[in-house]
Amino acid sequence: MVTLGKEDERLLRRAIEVSRRSRENGNHPFGALLADENGRVLLEAENSVVTTGDATGHAETNLIRMASTTLSDEVIARATMYVSGESCAMCSGAIYWGGINRLVYAMAESDLLALTGNHPENPTMTLDCRVVLGSGQRQIEVIGPALVEESVAVHEGFWT
């Protein structure tokens, strides 16, 4: 597990709160936010898979859709995405093509797999986001896992 600076810790905790809100709104407990280089939150997104019926409605993809239609490429490139759980292969691809250059995540995919097992609503892959993001033509800084226990707590009782 990684030790974060105070600003990264504050923003990652806020992403975890977004995941709590996602759960309260009837969706899978995942949240994401985008913050500028000064720590100002630009956008937040919840998972929306259940309420929209869209299998691609992960918090990260929802956030990237919002960012790419409302923010300039320059702002996105300087921003950091904070996510409550390590980005899956789909979301990692979206992060790459969306122009995000820095990602901070809480629990790892392996932590999620331990929680969900073979739950049909979350067929977790064992593919580390660093593998996907490291396969591109530009370097993306990835920090995590961090604040794992706090992120896992939001999932308690959800997948059973």
Contact 158, 29 (CB under 8 A): yes
What is the 3 state secondary structure string of the chain?
A: CCCCCHHHHHHHHHHHHHHHHHHHCCCCCCEEEEECCCCCEEEEEECCHHHHCCCCCCHHHHHHHHHHHHCCHHHHHHCEEEEEECCCHHHHHHHHHHCCCEEEEEECHHHHHHHHCCCCCCCCCCCCHHHHHCCCCCCCEEECCCCHHHHHHHHCCCCC
Q: Say which of 7, 37, 44, 60 is annotated catalytic.
A: 60
User: Is 86 part of the annotated catalytic residue set?
Assistant: no
Q: Which residues are catalytic?
A: 60
